[in-house]
Amino acid sequence: MSQLPSDPKPLTSRKAGALQGTVQVPGDKSISHRALILGALAEGRTEISGLLESEDILCTARALQALGAGVEERDGNWIVTGAGLGGLIEPAAPLDFGNSGTGARLMMGIVAGHPLRAVFTGDGSLKKRPMGRVLDPLKQMGLQIAEEGQSKLPLTLIGTSGLVPMEYRLPVPSAQVKSAVLLAGLLAQGRTSVVESEKTRDHTEKMLAYFGAAVSSEAVDGGTRISVEGRGTLHGRPVTVPGDPSSAAFLAAAAILCPGSDILIRNVLVNPTRTGFYETLKEMGANISFENERELNGELVADLRAKAGKLKGVHVPAARAPSMIDEYPILAALAAFAEGATVMDGLGELRVKESDRLAAMVAGLKACGAVAEASGDTLTVTGAALVRGGAGVATHMDHRIAMSFLVLGLAAEEPVTVDDASMIATSFPEFRGLMGTLGATFDDGARD
């Protein structure tokens, strides 16, 4: 399993012609994490096809290996030999999650229910990101933190075989917190519940049920209660991972911006908790559609067609944020070309991602000649028929910032250079190759 390069890799995009072709994006990152984790907790063998082989996912795979699960790539598929609930062992070295907040937070829920000590660490970006909102409920269940009062990596977690089940109401919508608590609940004696006031990604609930856990969901005052019964048995199962809609968003955006484009992206996950970006694009007048919708492993998938077209500014309500939180950077890039203002509310979460994405997008857009401002948790981008480009953009080690501005450069009047494209490998290592297949090219190093 390879490591990311340590030296920055600038990359430049230039105005492109029509993008054409049919492609398939790599597997969904959220489902890939969960397939590995639940396979490691199951009894028997789980064979995963279409796993996203990005650095984020490989970090989770390495962590599970260190905890005693069998995880190996074999003939293009990944085989996980589960240790069973409670069967993981103490790792001999720190668990390094690289840039992956999802991997670290979900694995905290797993480690909480095992009698072992594990040091969680990551790269410079991950060490700056808050973990307290995940650790708080897990500590109520019985997890201990050796570095008392601290909530950022590196941290030493001390798990227990005596986790206490609980009902936890999410203070803010977060699929990662919900998932960590439910995964810990698998190892507690009794029922563990999470109450959410706004619906968040439900991949954990779907996959728990697919692996045989007793999961239920019911409407309650103020939201939805999701519950899992602990100390059951998970059974290894085959998993086919559909294409990641967050990765597909960059290709779709490029097609919308480049005149004459018409592309088809096959087998994209279209779970309703993940399609807020595409709903917003339709409101903006984008020429996109879902074709051949079908079900796979309990998840809805479809082929996504995107064609070039003009966009208009819209208001994106805060309630939509959980279903498109990762797509706001590329939406902001698209909004720079739309007619009128696009106002995006409820984006406070973006300040604690791989970077302060609100600040990074505003700075990059302004550098490229667009009009953008952030006030509180609202981002406003006022579009123009022509976006100058001709700028260098700081990515702050954030893969989505890098890809968003590379897409913007395909439609800008002058080239756009991102200071480091190496971090794209954390989520979408095939980005450059797939864009090339469709007709876009990027140049290594700084622009001319």
Q: Is 445's pLDDT higher than 90?
A: no
Question: What is the pTM assigned to this prediction?
Answer: 0.86
User: What average pLDDT score do residues 363-384 get?
Assistant: 96
Count of CB atoms situated within 10 Å of the CB of 386: 10
Can you name the residues that pair with 307 across neighbouring β-strands? 262, 287
CATH, range 11-27+242-444: 3.65.10.10
| Closest by Cα among 311, 308, 291 to 300 | 291
Q: Do domains 11-27+242-444 and 29-239 have the same CATH topology?
A: yes
Give the Cα separation of 362 and 392 in Å (integer): 13
Tokens 């309500």 appear where?
A: 317
| Residue tagged active-site, from 326, 398, 419, 420 | 326
Q: Is 3's pLDDT higher than 50?
A: no
- pLDDT band (50, 70, 90) for residue 4: very low
Q: Above pLDDT 90, what percent of the chain?
A: 89
Q: Is 5's pLDDT higher than 50?
A: no
Provide the pLDDT for residue 262: 98
Provide the pLDDT for residue 351: 82
Q: Is 435's pLDDT higher than 80?
A: yes
Residues 109-129: tens digit of each pLDDT: 999 999 999 999 999 989 999
User: What average pLDDT score do residues 228-247 get?
Assistant: 96
Q: Is 2's pLDDT higher than 70?
A: no
Cα four-point dihedral sign 167, 354, 278, 305: negative
Give the Cα separation of 39 and 160 in Å (integer): 21
By mean pLDDT, which of 23-27, 51-55, 354-358 is the weakest?
354-358
Provide the pLDDT for residue 6: 54
Give the Cα separation of 64 and 67 in Å (integer): 5
The domain 29-239 belongs to what CATH superfamily? Answer: Enolpyruvate transferase domain (3.65.10.10)
Give the Cα separation of 218 and 191 in Å (integer): 14
User: What average pLDDT score do residues 186-208 get?
Assistant: 95
- pLDDT band (50, 70, 90) for residue 447: low
Crossing angle for the helix pair 328-335 and 357-367, nearest 10 degrees? Answer: 20
Q: Is 317's pLDDT higher than 80?
A: yes
CA 119 centroid distance within chain: 23
Torsion of CA 183, 318, 373, 390, to 10 degrees: 60
Give the Cα separation of 80 and 237 in Å (integer): 10
Tokens 């990596």 appear where?
A: 153
Can you name the residues that pair with 118 across neighbouring β-strands? 157
Residues 282-316: tens digit of each pLDDT: 999 999 999 999 998 889 999 999 999 999 999 99
Provide the pLDDT for residue 446: 64
* Catalytic (active site) residue 345: no
- pLDDT band (50, 70, 90) for residue 393: very high
CA 304 centroid distance within chain: 19
Provide the pLDDT for residue 448: 52
66-98 in b/e form (b: 16+ CB < 10 A) is bbbbebeeeeeebbbbbbebeebeebeebbbbb
Provide the pLDDT for residue 428: 93
Provide the pLDDT for residue 298: 83
User: What average pLDDT score do residues 10-27 get?
Assistant: 97
User: What average pLDDT score do residues 371-383 get?
Assistant: 96
Provide the pLDDT for residue 38: 98
User: What average pLDDT score do residues 222-234 get?
Assistant: 95
Residues 124-163: tens digit of each pLDDT: 989 999 899 999 999 999 999 999 889 999 999 999 999 9
425 compared with 243, residue with greater pLDDT: 243
- Where in the chain are the domains? 11-27+242-444, 29-239
Provide the pLDDT for residue 383: 95
Residue count of the chain, please give it.
448
